[in-house]
Structure 1
Amino acid sequence: MKMNGIGGAAPAAWLAIAGLVVVVAIPFIAVVLQGIFPNLGQGSFAGPFSSLLATLADSALIGMAGNTLLLGGCVVLASAVVAVPLGVFRALYRIPYAPFWDVVLLVPFMIPPYIATLGWIMTLQPRGYLQQLVGFNLAPFLFSLFGMTLVMAFNTFPVVYFAVSRTVEAVGSRYADVGRVFGATPARAFWRITLPLSAPGLAASLMLVFAAAIEEYGTPAALGRRAGFQVLVTGIDLRITDWPIDLPGAAILSLLLVGMSLVTFLLQRWILARRSYQTVGGKPSAKDKRSLGALKVPVMIAFSVVAFLATGVPLLAILATALSRTISGGLALGNLSLSNFIAVFSNSAGAVGALVNSFSLGIATALITGLIGVTAAYTVVKTRMRGRTTIDIMTILPNALPGIVVAVGLILAWNMPWLPATPYNTALILLLAYCCILLPQPVRYTTAAFQQIGDNLEAAARVFGASSITAFRRILLPLVFPSLASAMLLVFALASRELVASVVVAPVGMLTIATFIWRQFEQGSIGLGMAMAFIAIVITTLLPLLLLTLLRRSGLVAE
């Protein structure tokens, strides 16, 4: 039988390989080759590495690289300061209305960072909402490293909050209680027992925050440039959008950013694989949580303040701006109007077209990444064919490819003058970018699902005459479909509002939700842009939740 060999795995393997080559390998190889051969666009391999020395000798490079690492480190620190105490209290104590706080603290993660940043600009800028309400503005604070750090931390801290709360809850308080019996103070028991046992999950979540921070484009572009704080992402964007175009320099900066992301990802995997701190008892941790007692009021204040700053301020600013007839009219009842929302749905400035484009691309991205993800995961987990390790590496590579690098790679790969046909300057180039950036989601979800399915089910089907395709379609696919459906819905939500690739490689005249919002801010039509932002947040958050609910009711997705 060949169910675990090349014969049985061939259809899925070749489909996965073809998809991964087009979506992942081509843009990555294009970046590497352009960094080595600066004249590659003219079909020449002359002068290898000649641009490398010139780019590395640029005095601005050290500053951009240093700023990138500094911003990433500051966001990690701020996220930890905000999330770790809340996560620990959520795990060990009975928090009033705990499920409500979980939902409220998840919302910032669902708001695209660039939209949240625009909300903060409207709030803290001169004559912004804060100045209208209390008489002063915090623009110098906002347009600074400190301001960028807090804005980005309020977007990323949910990753740390949920990791800490779930990890510490799994550890429980039983081991710390044993330490208390032997004379440890509560603080010493926490620092010496509970925290070390939770360290792998905490450290891995902080690594994810660092990777997200160094790859973020919207916040540094909106805030950092005004503050004179340039990072690698904005430096790459300048090299491919401002004249003279410097594609070799952009490729080299992209590889530097890839290196930072790859190191972060490898550290995350190493931390998750470590087992330096383990519990050795066989009994499960007690789930009884303690009463907050005298801490109830300060803890509730902390949850409320963080929820207001992370969720309330951006959403209220977005909605207030969207409902304003004119920005100069400010927060006045007579200035409230639905005109901006009406303008969106009446296709003002191509708003409806942007919605249709983004949702169409989101659906297509979900379908393609779902197909590549499930076939690649099946090949890696369920077969013993040669080359599956290479497939596994190719599915991991997008984790280390920031969106700006993917965009640069697609430009380099598909803008060659000698190509007989190219997706460049068509909607297909955006689809390729979205697929590369978001491919890890279906791969992770379906890989975990396949690992939980024993080999005996497929073997039994093959014994009774089913082909490999039939066994996959009738047995394995239905079993992993709940995980696959969840991943595809997440991909749809993220693809529909993706910014950096949309700004860099969108065809001339084609608008998406992200480019529409960005353009309206640049042109001064802020209310129209914010109306689109609010609509995008509502649709891309509620629609996946609605579909998941329907799937659960139909029994296709487990509760």
Structure 2
Amino acid sequence: MNGASVSASPLEAHSAAKKGLSGDDGHSAALWIAAIGLLLVVGVPFTFIVLQAIFPELGRGSLAAPFSNLGKTLSDPLLPRMALNTVGLGVAVAAISALIGVPLAAFRGLFKVPGAKVWDALMLVPFMIPPYIATLGWIMTLQPNGYLQQLAGFNLAPFLFSLGGMAFVMALNCFPVIYFGVSRTLEAVGGRYSDVGRVFGASPWRAFWRITLPLSIPGLAASLLLIFAMAIEEYGTPAALGRHAGFEVLVTQIELRVSDWPIDLPGASIMALTLVLLSFSAFLVQRRVLSARNFQTTGGKPQAFNKRPLGPLAVPVLMFFALIAFLAAGAPLFAILATALSRTISGGLVLDNLTLANFSRIYEDGAGALKALTLSLSLGVATAIVAGLLGAIASYVVVKTKSRGRFLLDTLTIIPNALPGIVVAIGLVLAWNQPWLPVSPYNTSLILLLAYCCILLPQPVRYTTAALHQIGDNLEAAARVFGASRMVVFRRILLPLIAPSLVASMLLVFAVASRELVASLLVAPVGTHTVASFIWRQFEQGSVGLGMGMAFVTIVLTTLVPFAILILLRRASGHDAML
């Protein structure tokens, strides 16, 4: 190494780094990898949804009669009602989630709650129970002759099979979004602003309602938007509960048009775009709310915030936490395990009716359960790897380079946020089931991988983008001065720094992909079952115990595997630190 290279001035280092940022083989490679991956995973399905909505004969390879199906679908007398039902369900779920989550978040964020970390862990459990499985558990509990009637002598079937029942069951799965988001926001806001209000005569309730809660609106608005989007795209709960009550929503109608004869792909595409429009409208409402006011609470050095003791509220607050934890996690898990252990459903909760036969059938693979479990876990791992790497590369190009195509990449990473799972599935069916394609992943397991990657890509993108924004450009510039290529810098410097965020997102992707329902039902190859489709089919065929046995095994695996990996990584990082 010569002296000139060692003694390079800061100006030369900055010049060299800037030159590398403007055009480099490593950047070009990253740009092309991200562009091809995102176009394949996101661009292709979304484009074909739009094309199919415009050209109804696209499936036959014809562009004839554009927009001819638009009027027919939009004039369907059921469409306005289904759209209103969809919006109403989303709003109801968001409202109930707020009623549950905001008080919990307020106590957690502003007061010293005994066992706070334990309650945080318990509030995570509803995330690990797939919504459709939780719904099936509530059906077994509240239906006539269900577990509630066996234990207490009455049932709540009329409530369960109603809009209120659907919204309540879905809210029990969604409220943790508000709990974690708003509690952390309230911790950041602290109590100093409400204390000022108290000095000027405001009551504690008025100070919270008029000062503290409005300052937490950014976290609350983001949480409500996410819950609304989750609710309007959820298929399992409306399909299991809504059809009994004659309550049709867009997502169930889209699935019906794709799966039942005569198949109506153009109509399904138009309804899918309507669903996307609803999601995007909610996003615009959130932006308008946040842009209308100033929510800044930090203007200088951070101030310590000492949480207040609960005092006489301790017992009722803990009872409230316990009640919600029981309803959101305890009751569904009890119903799932009780059903899995039952020899027959009609036998009830008696000792003679308990057996491990359903778990033995899973192990023996008599109904293809083990194959479905193996396939889902394999797809979960593959999705985590592909989505994680693609998300990391795309985020790197968008955040750390000046490439001309980064705006397009940024757009492609945002689109999946507005694409419900069923819309992605429809787009993949349309894109890869064209008769003129010489080779297609359709009717293979690869189509499931593409669907899962598109649905879950926002998770690694959000996590890695935030991590990359926290890394200064000086590290990359220093490495470039000493001859490191862009790919070496990314692999040896940036990737290790974003690894904690990336690994966390990949574990989340694994957990969700291993049990994804709607895409599995629509695009899985004929005769191929994932865990989700296996459980759904068992309920349709009356093998409820086997389905619940598979559900319990899936919940345990998708919960324990990520936790075990996190523990191993923490131990490894601790060992490295000691070395």
Are residues 1:195 and 2:213 paired?
yes
- Would the aligned equivalents of 2:31 and 2:405 in 1 still touch at CA under 8 Å? no
* Moved beyond 6 Å, runs of 4+: 556-559
Q: CA deviation at 1:116?
A: 0.3
1:210 is aligned to 228
Query: Does residue 1:49 correspond to 2:49, yes or no?
Result: no
1:259 aligns with: 277
Q: Where do 5+ consecutive residues of structure 1 fail to align?
A: none
Once the two structures are TM-superposed, the CA of residue 297 in structure 1 deviates from its matched residue by: 2.1
Shift of 1:302: 1.1
- Please state if 1:70 is matched with 2:82: no
Q: Residue 445 of structure 1 aligns with which residue?
A: 463
Residue-by-residue CA offset, 1:28-51 (whole Å, 9 max, x unaligned): 000000000000111111111110
2:523 corresponds in structure 1 to 505
AA at the equivalent of 1:3:
G
Offset at 1:279?
A: 2.5
- 1:88-237 maps to which residues of 2 (within 5 A)? 88-237=106-255
In 1, Cα distance between equivalents of 2:396 and 2:272: 31
* Of 63-72 and 298-307, the range deviating more from structure 2: 298-307
Q: Which moved more, 1:186-195 or 1:530-539?
A: 186-195
* Secondary structure class of the residue paired with 1:4: helix
1:552 is matched with which residue: 561, 565, 570? Answer: 570
Shift of 1:514: 0.2
Deviates more, 1:267-276 or 1:508-517: 267-276
Partner Cα distance (1:396, 1:269) in 2: 15
CA distance in 1, matches of 2:145, 2:463: 46
The superposition leaves residues 73-92 of structure 1 with CA deviations (integer Å, 9 ceiling, x where unpaired) of 00011001111111101111
Give the aligned CA root-mean-square deviation in angstroms.
Answer: 1.6
1:400 aligns with 2:408: no
Q: Is the 8 A contact 1:174 1:286 kept in 2?
A: no
Matched-pair identity in %: 67
8 Å Cα contact 2:511-2:558 kept in structure 1: yes
Task: State the Cα distance separating 1:417 from its structure 2 match.
Answer: 1.1
* Distance in 1, Cα, partners of 2:31 & 2:333: 44
The answer to whether 1:3 aligns with 2:20 is yes
Conserved 8 A contact 2:42-2:412: yes
Contact 1:208–1:268 (8 Å) recurs in 2: no
Q: Which moved more, 1:549-558 or 1:352-361?
A: 549-558
Counterpart of 1:87 in structure 2: which amino acid? A
1:60/1:427 CA distance change after superposition, 3 Å:
same
- State the distance in 1 between where 2:258 and 2:299 align: 57
Aligned length: 559
Does the 8 A contact of 1:482 with 1:557 survive in 2? no
Deviations 1:256-311 (A, max 9, x none): 00111122234445656776122365353443222222212221221111111111
Looking at structure 2, the residues matched to 555 and 485 of structure 1 have their Cα atoms a distance apart, in angstroms, of 13
What residue identity is the alignment partner of 2:279? S
Q: What is the CA–CA distance in structure 2 between the aligned matches of 1:279 and 1:161, rounded to whole Å?
A: 20
2: distance between equivalents of 1:242 and 1:136?
37
**Contact 1:551 1:557 (C-alpha < 8 Å) held by counterparts:** no
Normalised by the length of structure 2, the TM-score is: 0.94
Name the residue aligned to 2:507: 489
CA separation in 1, counterparts of 2:487 and 2:287?
33
* Distance in 1 of aligned mates of 2:291 and 2:568: 36
Runs of 5+ in structure 2 lacking a partner?
Answer: 1-15
Q: TM-score normalized by structure 1?
A: 0.98
Query: What is the CA–CA distance in structure 1 between the aligned matches of 2:254 and 2:292, rounded to whole Å?
Result: 35
Equivalent position to 1:371, from 389, 402, 406:
389
1:358 counterpart = 2:379 = no
How far has the Cα of 1:329 moved from its partner?
0.7
Structure-1 residue corresponding to 2:542:
524
* Kept after mapping to 2: 8 A contact 1:396/1:440: yes
Q: 2:260 aligns with which of 242, 264, 276?
A: 242
Distance 1:50 1:188 in 2: 57
| Structure 1 position 130, deviation (Å) | 0.5
1:96 Cα offset (Å): 1.5
Structure 2 CA distance for partners of 1:19 and 1:320, relative to 1, 3 Å? same
Kept in 2: contact 1:170–1:285 (CA 8 A): no
Secondary structure at the aligned position of 2:112 is classed as coil
Q: Residue 21 of structure 2 aligns to which amino acid in structure 1?
A: N
Greater alpha carbon shift after TM alignment, 415-424 vs 225-234: 415-424
Cα distance in structure 1, aligned partners of 2:494 and 2:298: 35
Deviation sequence 1:219-260 (CA, Å, 0-9, x none): 001001111000000010000011110000000000000111
- Give the secondary-structure state (helix, strand or coil) at the position aligned to 2:520: helix
Cα deviation digits, residues 8-40 of structure 1 (max 9, x gap): 411111000000011000000000000000001
Distance in 1 of aligned mates of 2:550 and 2:211: 48
